[in-house]
Chain A
Amino acid sequence: MRMLVEQVRADLIAFARRPETLFFTVFLPVIFLVLFEAIFGDIEVSAGSDYALTQSTLQVPAFMAMGIVSACFVSLAITMVNRRETGLFKRVRGTPAPAWLLIAGQGVTSLLIGTTMVVVMLLVGRIAYGVEVSVDRLPWLVLSVLIGAAVFSCLGIALASITPSSEAGPPLANLLVLPLYFVSGVFVPVASLPDWLSSAASVFPIAPFVKMITWPYDPAAPDIPWRSVLLLVGWGVLGLIVAARFFRWLPRRG
């Protein structure tokens, strides 16, 4: 346990001291939230019937989703590839530290960063835009964040496992998530997408996650989106399978 605390502490310090990761992972989603609120905030969304729901409300959970994906998937994958390729993992595997420690360390670190961003967005949404989440649905928000963090961490480890080099890390991760942000309800409301595009996007993991995390914010939304939960968890399992098959500690080169 002390080992894990030290590991997470070191991983957090290392994360916080790298300006580029800090910017892309933490600040960018928050900046996007502010920009999108300014640009699209007033648009009425016909998600519910009786409620006058504006895009302003849905954007808060949408960018929470981006924060989690950014911390647990993109940043985690890039970090793990770097550590493998620079020999850091190899080095630690030469000590008595157990293998799970490195993975748990990264997982907990990403969870903490992602959760922090969710809290920041929650506060920004509430204070700046008056966006509130109903108290009885708050546990669902917490649960969504936890499930999302776990699933995207599994996918992040899977991506790291199949990424061949440090150089390939950032472009590969961003290539995967950027288009999905557009078609999964993060940058653009799903309602304004053509049907074929939104149904194609709904198969990938970001769309169900956005649906889950948006649910507590949308009083008109019907029942808990269980199908989205199942789909998302399915992706997590797939990630684990890929990771178990291709994961390695030693650098790929040499």
Chain B
Amino acid sequence: MPPVADAIVVEGLVKRYGDRDVVDGLDLTVREGEVLAFLGRNGAGKTTTTEILEGYRTRDAGRVEVLGQDPAGAGTDWRARLGIVLQESQPLGALTVRETLRLYAAYFPHPRPVDEVIGLVGLSDQAGQRAGRLSGGQKRRLDVGIALIGRPDLVFLDEPTTGFDPDARRQFWDVIHGLRELGTTVFLTTHYMDEAQVLADRVAVLRDGKVAALGTPAELQAMRGDVEIRFELPAGVAAADLPALSAAPDVAGGAVRVETSAPTRDLAVLCGWAEGRGIELANLTVERPTLEDVFLAIAGDHAEAGA
């Protein structure tokens, strides 16, 4: 096996609109075969960066290499190795799923068989249906099918599941899992932390046109540190009666919350204490901070959530 190469290398990327640096010195490397989730609030520069990598937009400074070539000057051979799902685009509504894929297959030198792609994106039951009559989630899967038809080495997905219902998102995730098994590199732009958590090998969080954090979901979660233990204060027990833990518990109403960097020890103490008194701790939970918490902390503290 050859050593794992880099599918995307970005160094010091800058893109200016007027006097505003939308992308401001962005560095990022995406390895071959990995799924990278690219997170950030609206306006953080996600789509601009993605479209520079896809060759749609020019840049003002920096070095960009996608599949070994500069997107700004890359030709059709390079394009044939990419699969692109845009944030907004509609296939021809009058064509059926199969007709649409057949047309796109004609654009590529070595396309996958149309029916194989239909199976990959789970649209076998809709193959003869017109694209205009598909549900939102099905349309998006057709979009992904279009991106897969040319056997791409690298797939860009720009907010592919925005507006999906939970079922549709799960089905979509299965499609991405399938892609990874095919060895395809995936560059996934998304607003949804759970999506990044489920799909991504690594997560890059964008803030003010720079990568503010980069790592596996677990690494990013570890950056936020403490684990949270919660339970309800048992009847007849005062806050002061609780055993000494590594951090002082935070008691509000009947709910107890402890943020700890030593969850195993604290849990042992707490459970031993409760067991000794024959108390069942109601609603006992142990939680690591979610990726969402981490994201909110890193991506900046605008009032409105990104999604």
Interface positions of A (Cβ within 8 A of B) = 2-3, 6-7, 9-10, 13-14, 17-18, 86-88, 90-98, 101, 250
Contact = CB atoms under 8 A, between A and B. Distances in A.
A98 B109 CA distance: 12
Residue among B80, B89, B100, B146 with the highest chain A CB neighbour number at 10 A:
B89
A10 B89 contact: no
Given A87-B90, A94-B56, A96-B108, A17 B99 contact: no
B82 interface: yes
A86 B79 contact: no
Given A13-B94, A14-B94, A98-B76, A92 B84 contact: no
Interface string B19-40: 0000000000000000000000
A95 B79 contact: yes
Nearest to A21: B94
B99 A10 contact: yes
Interface of B: 54-56, 76-77, 79-80, 82, 84, 86, 88-92, 94-95, 99-100, 102-104, 106-109, 130, 146, 150
B108 A87 contact: no
B107 A92 contact: yes
A86 B107 contact: no
Q: Secondary structure at chain A's binding surface: helix, strand, loop or mixed?
A: helix
A91 B149 CA distance: 13
12 contacts: A10-B92, A10-B102, A13-B94, A14-B95, A87-B86, A88-B91, A91-B91, A91-B146, A94-B56, A95-B104, A96-B77, A96-B79
B130 to A, nearest CB: 7
Nearest 6 A-B pairs (CB), nearest first? A87-B89, A6-B106, A17-B94, A97-B107, A96-B76, A94-B84
Nearest to A17: B94
Given A6-B102, A94-B55, A96-B107, 6 more contacts: A10-B95, A10-B100, A88-B92, A90-B89, A91-B146, A95-B104
B186 to A, nearest CB: 16
A18 B76 contact: no
Contacts of B146: 91
A13 B107 CA distance: 18
Nearest to A93: B56
A47 to B, nearest CB: 43
Given A17-B94, A18-B94, A94-B84, A86 B99 contact: no
A94 B79 contact: yes
A3 B76 CA distance: 14
A86 B89 contact: yes
Contact of B89 (A9, A91, A98): A91
B86 A90 contact: yes
Q: Which one of B54, B76, B94, B102 has the highest number of Cβ atoms from chain A below 10 Å of its Cβ? A: B94
A94 B82 contact: yes
Contact of B92 (A14, A94, A97): A14
A2 B150 CA distance: 16
B302 to A, nearest CB: 21
